[in-house]
Amino acid sequence: MSSDFDVIIIGSGPAGVSAAFPLVEAGLRVLMVDGGERQASEAFSEPYLLKRQRDSEQTDWMLGAGLHSLRNMAASSPKLRIPAHAYVFKDFERLNKITSESIVSIGSIAQGGLSNVWGCGVACLSASQLAEFPFRCSEMTQSYAKIAERMGISGSINDDLSDYFGLDDWADEPIEIDSIQRIVLERYKKQRLKNVNWNFKLGRARVAALSKDRSGRKACNLSGNCLWGCSRHSLYSATQDLASLRRFPLFTYRAGCIVDELTQSGSLPGIKIASNNKKETIYASKVLVGAGTLATTRLAMRVLKISESLSVQSSPVAAFMLWIPSAMGKRPESAFALGQLAFTTNLLAQEVTPIPSVGSLFNCSSIPISEFTPYLPMNSRYGIDLLKILLRSCVVGNFYLPGRYTQIEAKLNSREELNLSGQFHEEVNNLMAKGKKQLCKAFRTLGAFMLPGSFNLAKPGADLHYGASLPMRLSPVLGETDANGSLFGMQNIHIIDGASLPSITEKPHTLTIMANADRIGQSIVQELQKSIHVEG
């Protein structure tokens, strides 16, 4: 059986585009398919604070058609309530046949996937964390450098988090921080000299956002529009890479395709897709699955006919708000609206080794007050009055634990739907309580006070850091993959997204997914070129 393509890639998100580049650069014929949802309108360019003051029609983008934002108030993240982002999440569960109980299950069939709405946090795994991968650490280091250079990263500065993030050799200088977080950072620098043994480190966040112009994208201009959509394309999205890939003559992109099933004819893998109400099967020498951990897990379980449940990891995350009294009376400030400062701390639990945790601090100016009122220990009406006074002197933060502390089970039902159920590990509440106590103490020393009732643990899965359902192992068994993401029990089907990671750490995981996909893409080039040479 012949094919028009050497490689088929499912998904145009960060994993898909990262695997595609080494393939097309080697002259291979690549087909990429996805659901193809796209944003209906361009992001606005006027700074957020000015638009809130001047726009008489702001209900159109604040609430959306059919009061989209209000109808989604129960959603786990503000991103899910932004009307302009509705296309990112549209129909993901229904079209991928995923159901969930007691956990948040989110994905995307849009061009670029969830990279259209991510927080842009990036980090390299440490040597000890990479030791869990079934290949040499140096292979990931090379791919980290390649991906970081392509996507554009800012935050390079010699601070207490340089070693933790491991990115400064490939990053540009940081984006300017707001005056409130500058107060916190300067106090930390002074206090650190007195507290060299602190179990708390603070520094600049490393983010996939531009501090200088690059390849047609503009540097961040502190508009505060990060949550609503960046018209300057300062924030990295896989759609930018997709546009570059489409310039290669042997690269084919097909939107509007939902892959319902993987298949195999001899050693030749294929995909069964529904497109324009028609079903077809396409074969290639290799199929790379990067549909997002949840959708990828269903496709793999179905083709392998796995009846047992598989585990999925997801990082427990909490949110909180800090009040900095010395910043009272400051005017609203237009600023970068994603992570500006980051912090790490280690939690002592029943385990011998301290448990690492990480978080970031965010400017509040471009987040609606309604996002904060549910977490205050008072009636919403009075909460709004309080926040009108306090919000200009506040920052919000998040706090992540490793993914092994979320226990999610994935199982196919009789209708071949993927059912997800789960809960946090029994130790999570205790760890979060310890984390809250440590953060309160550390930030209080810096003149920042956690507002009562503001530290809240999100539902399992709300972090969107899903992974490790089909983990890479040195000697894989059914439901696992090898060092190149090859699915055990099948030929020439490779898992390239978060599903193939051995585990989910507390760190942001997108850059690691991309680097691993790039590494797999390079290995496939070598394999296919060797095969062509032998046949020739």
Higher pLDDT, 354 or 2: 354
Higher pLDDT, 376 or 387: 387
Q: Which runs of E-coded beta strand occur in 375-460?
A: 394-400, 406-412, 418-424, 449-450, 456-457
Higher pLDDT, 69 or 501: 501
Confidence of residue 69 (pLDDT cuts 50, 70, 90): confident
pLDDT tops 90 at residue 113: yes
What is the rounded CA–CA span in Å between residue 141 and residue 148?
11
What is the length of the chain? 536
What is the rounded CA–CA span in Å between residue 376 and residue 455?
10
What is the rounded CA–CA span in Å between residue 39 and residue 483?
36
Confidence of residue 193 (pLDDT cuts 50, 70, 90): low
Strand, coil or helix: what is 155?
Answer: coil
Residue range 232-238: average pLDDT?
97
Convert the pLDDT of each residue in 266-301 to its tens digit: 889 999 998 777 889 999 999 999 999 999 999 999
pLDDT tops 70 at residue 350: no
Among 381, 359, 360, 362, CA closest to 370 = 381
**CA trace torsion 299, 22, 521, 536 (10° rounding):** 100
Q: Give me the pLDDT at residue 195, please.
A: 62
- CA dist list (Å): 163 to 181, 202, 206, 279, 442: 21, 12, 12, 50, 21
Q: Give me the pLDDT at residue 373, please.
A: 67
Among 506, 464, 504, 205, CA closest to 356 = 506
What is the rounded CA–CA span in Å between residue 526 and residue 449?
55
**Averaged pLDDT score across all residues of the chain:** 91
5-535 in CATH: which number? 3.50.50.60
pLDDT tops 60 at residue 506: yes
Percent of the chain whose pLDDT exceeds 90? 76
Confidence of residue 97 (pLDDT cuts 50, 70, 90): very high
The values of phi and psi at residue 76, to 5°, are: -75, -20
pLDDT tops 60 at residue 192: yes
Task: Tell me if 450 sits within 8 A of 361, measured CB to CB.
Answer: no
Convert the pLDDT of each residue in 296-319 to its tens digit: 999 999 999 999 999 999 999 999
Q: Where are the domains of the chain?
A: 5-535
Confidence of residue 374 (pLDDT cuts 50, 70, 90): low
What is the rounded CA–CA span in Å between residue 516 and residue 18?
9
Per-residue b or e along 456-469, where b marks 16 or more CB atoms closer than 10 Å to that residue's CB: ebbebbbbbbbbbb
Higher pLDDT, 1 or 235: 235
In three-state form (DSSP H/G/I as H, E/B as E, the rest C), the secondary structure along 238-293 is HHHHHHHHCCCCCEEEECCCEEEEEEEECCEEEEEEEECCEEEEEEEEEEEECCCH
What is the rounded CA–CA span in Å between residue 353 and residue 346?
9
pTM of the model: 0.95
Among 458, 320, 453, 326, CA closest to 395 = 320
pLDDT tops 50 at residue 128: yes
Convert the pLDDT of each residue in 441-484 to its tens digit: 999 999 999 998 889 999 999 999 999 999 999 999 999 999 99
Longest dimension (CA), the chain: 77
